[in-house]
């Protein structure tokens, strides 16, 4: 059964992706200005899934073609979009951060609590990494973020160890790939999609066909 609602603006993202954070800012600008903004549905996506080993750890030695020139280009693009979208963020900290547990807890909060609590946790997790430079791969950091929105720490640690959530995460990643999601952020609406930190006017074209 599909977890994706074509009537909503669906966002595939990973907390450690700087362009996901920037794309979120552009999307929010569009939503604030739209006459009839669509509902937004967030979907987790494992940015480093191709490096993930059977035990869940990241193999940093996997060759992916991302050399110093690649990261220099990333920094240049991030700086440009930071200025364009007026976003305050810390750069490069995400390179050694694995968001798997944070995304698992995010899915748990989405399922166990109301939408407001989920969105609050979601926003604070992004901000913890990209504004405060915190390691959101650390269970204690995740628990601290969760407690700030009313989710007890023991529920966070239980969610991190939950095999059922683990399998659901993998199924969601697989469904996204089957739908053609190969990079993030990816935004979809009514069978159409756009990838990258697109500007507000492109959201308008995607959603409203303008």
Output the pLDDT for position 27. Answer: 97
The number of distinct structural domains making up the chain is 1
Res 48: pLDDT: 75
Q: Is residue 73 part of a domain?
A: yes
Record the tokens describing residue 36, joined without a space: 């009839």
Alpha carbon of residue 8 to chain centroid: 17
- The series of mean pLDDT values per 10 residues for the chain, 210 residues long, is 76 94 96 94 84 74 69 84 90 74 96 97 96 94 98 98 93 88 93 94 87
Residue 91's domain spans which residues? 9-208
172-185 b/e (C-beta count within 10 Å ≥ 16 → b): bbeebeebebeebb
Domain-located, residue 20: yes
* Tokens coding 181: 């999601």
Return the pLDDT at 30. 96
37 domain residue, yes or no: yes
Which CATH number characterizes residue 189's domain?
Answer: 3.40.30.10
CA atoms within 13 A on the CB side of 20: 26
CA–CA dist 17, 19 (Å, integer): 5
Structure confidence at residue 95 (pLDDT): 61
Q: What ranges in the chain are assigned the alpha helix state H?
A: 18-33, 68-85, 100-112, 115-130, 139-147, 153-160, 163-178, 200-208
Q: Decide if 4 is inside a domain.
A: no
The predicted structure's pLDDT at residue 67:
65
d(CA 195, CA 49): 18
Query: Is 1 domain-assigned?
Result: no
pLDDT of residue 185: 96
Q: Would you say residue 162 lies in a domain?
A: yes
Backbone φ and ψ for 28, nearest 5 degrees, come out as -65, -35
User: What digits encode the pLDDT tens for the residues 79-128?
Assistant: 899 999 999 888 665 567 899 999 999 999 999 999 999 999 999 999 99
2 within domain boundaries:
no
Output the pLDDT for position 54.
77
């Amino acid at each position: 059964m599909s977890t994706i609602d074509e009537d909503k603006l669906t966002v595939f993202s990973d907390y450690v992706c700087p362009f996901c954070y920037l794309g979120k800012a552009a999307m929010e600008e569009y939503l604030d200005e739209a006459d009839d903004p669509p509902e937004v549905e967030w979907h987790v996506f494992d940015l480093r899934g191709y490096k993930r080993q059977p035990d869940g750890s990241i193999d940093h030695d996997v060759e992916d073609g991302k050399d110093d020139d690649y990261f220099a280009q990333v920094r240049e693009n991030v700086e440009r979009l930071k200025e364009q979208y007026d976003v305050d963020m810390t750069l490069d900290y995400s390179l050694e951060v694995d968001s798997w547990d944070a995304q698992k807890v995010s899915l748990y909060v989405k399922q166990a609590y109301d939408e407001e609590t989920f969105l609050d946790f979601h926003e604070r997790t992004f901000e913890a990494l990209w504004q405060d430079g915190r390691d959101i791969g650390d269970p204690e950091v995740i628990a601290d973020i969760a407690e700030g929105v009313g989710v007890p720490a023991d529920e966070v640690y239980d969610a991190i160890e939950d095999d059922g959530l683990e399998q659901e995460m993998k199924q969601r990643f697989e469904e996204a790939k089957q739908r053609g999601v190969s990079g993030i952020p990816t935004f979809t609406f009514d069978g159409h999609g756009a990838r990258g930190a697109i500007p507000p006017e492109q959201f308008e074209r995607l959603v409203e066909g303008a």
